[in-house]
Structure 1
Amino acid sequence: MSLSASPPYALQLRDVWLRLGREVILRGVTLDVPVGEGVTLLGENGAGKTTLLRLLASGLRPTRGEGRVMNFDLRDSRAVRDFVHLMPVDAGLYPDLTCTENLEFALRMHGQTGDVHGALRRVGLEKVSGRRGRFLSAGMRKRLALSRAHLLRRPVTLVDEPFANLDDAGRALVQELLGELRHIGVTLVIAAHEPALARQIAPRTLVLGSGQLVEA
């Protein structure tokens, strides 16, 4: 099977293998995700979901096979990163920057502007806007990372365990903000252990197991 740009695909993989050290993580993975689609990625702990997201964000290179992100070669990390935002499970914040500074820095990195104060207010962090990332609770860090993803609105947004460390109100906020991204045409891939919640935003479901990706 060849890679194609028509119909428009946000993500494409063809027979991708990935080896880290002696361990084979991905085995012949093939994937097509049209622009604007929402995908829920399921799998047991250690199945390689986080690794797959990192590969799609060009943080890892395939050992074998090929891939494209918004029609750019996956190995062209500079081009790919202009279109992709990865929200990691640990939030990926700068611990010595305040909430405000974390968002401002993210915008500058992408050459964007945005309403940082409004973004913090939306996730209930306006009262701790001057607190450094290292002094935030796990739930606050998750909310700040969610705010950053929503503020950046990258065409492809990859989210790793967005519901972890959040109460019911926080989980509802995740659904609301990620749902808004889907509504404006952002392509979402959500790795989660809460399929019922994730599928409300991203109804297509893929399962990763034994290094292989299959439709649920």
Structure 2
Amino acid sequence: MAEGVSGRVEDQLPPLVSPALQLRDLWLRLGREVILRGVNLDVMVGEGVTLLGENGAGKTTLLRLLASGLRPTRGEGRVMGFDLRDSRAVRDHIHLMPVDAGLYPDLSCAENLDFALKMHGQTGDVAAALRRVTLEAAANRRVRFLSAGMRKRLALARAHLLARPLTLVDEPFANLDTAGRGLVLELLGELRAGGVTLLIAAHEPELARQVAPRALRLAAGVLHET
């Protein structure tokens, strides 16, 4: 297991033959707009999937739904064996890294990671996680004073530290230079090597598919294999 990751991911995961995600005829309506239309999906434990689609196609909305931030209008879904509508159970097995990083701006880098560990009842080496993303010098700096690229790296450190069985990542390569993108590939690759299931929404398929080779495309609310 890579430095900074808490515990053994294998101890949190069901057998490798189990599905991490199962969606059946899943629909989502927000107000008058239909966002998802009859989505069917099977993703096995340990698999890496890249989610493609134009801006506004619903990729972020699908990730939020899988993280139990939204409830489906109709249809069925299971996440790591738990009913999608059982938000508490789902959240115990999933981590969402949103495009805006989802950090607490008035907490320092180290405090953000400490808080994430406490929220999930985990322990881990925060200092090592910060070193892994070259943020050790900013450990005590408040997030509101970080650049967009530094916030992205801190969010990546949090995902790597938590190593939840199912990790959803929204636009991990945005606001990063070539070195930063390389670091994203390295850390996400380490998560997959440890048995974590990855679902990555990205506009850079040539990068994302290096760690998540199966590709799906969301268009007009319908999910297709590519």
Structure-2-length-normalised TM-score: 0.93
The alpha carbon displacement at 1:190 in A equals 0.3
Whether 1:123 and 2:133 are equivalent positions in the alignment is yes
Equivalent of 1:27, from 37, 52, 63?
37
- Structure 1: distance between partners of 2:113 and 2:105: 12
Equivalent of 1:103, from 102, 109, 113?
113
For 1:134-213, list aligned pairs within 5 A: 134-213=144-223
Aligned residues: percent identity? 81
1:215 equivalent in structure 2:
225
The alpha carbon displacement at 1:7 in A equals 4.2
List 4+ stretches of structure 1 deviating above 2 A: none
Matched position secondary structure for 1:201: coil
Whether 1:37 and 2:47 are equivalent positions in the alignment is yes
Over aligned residues, Cα RMSD in angstroms? 1.1
1:112-144 CA-to-partner distances (Å, cap 9, x unmatched) read: 000100100110100011111111100000000
- Structure 2: distance between partners of 1:7 and 1:138: 38
2:25 equivalent in structure 1:
15
2:10 equivalent in structure 1:
none
Structure 2 unaligned blocks of 5 or more: 1-14
Amino acid at match of 2:140: G
- Structure 1: distance between partners of 2:202 and 2:164: 20
Structure-1-length-normalised TM-score: 0.97
Matched position secondary structure for 1:200: coil
- Structure 1: distance between partners of 2:96 and 2:164: 9
Equivalenced residues, count: 212
- Structure 1: distance between partners of 2:147 and 2:16: 44
- Structure 1: distance between partners of 2:171 and 2:215: 15
The alpha carbon displacement at 1:98 in A equals 0.2
Structure 1 unaligned blocks of 5 or more: none
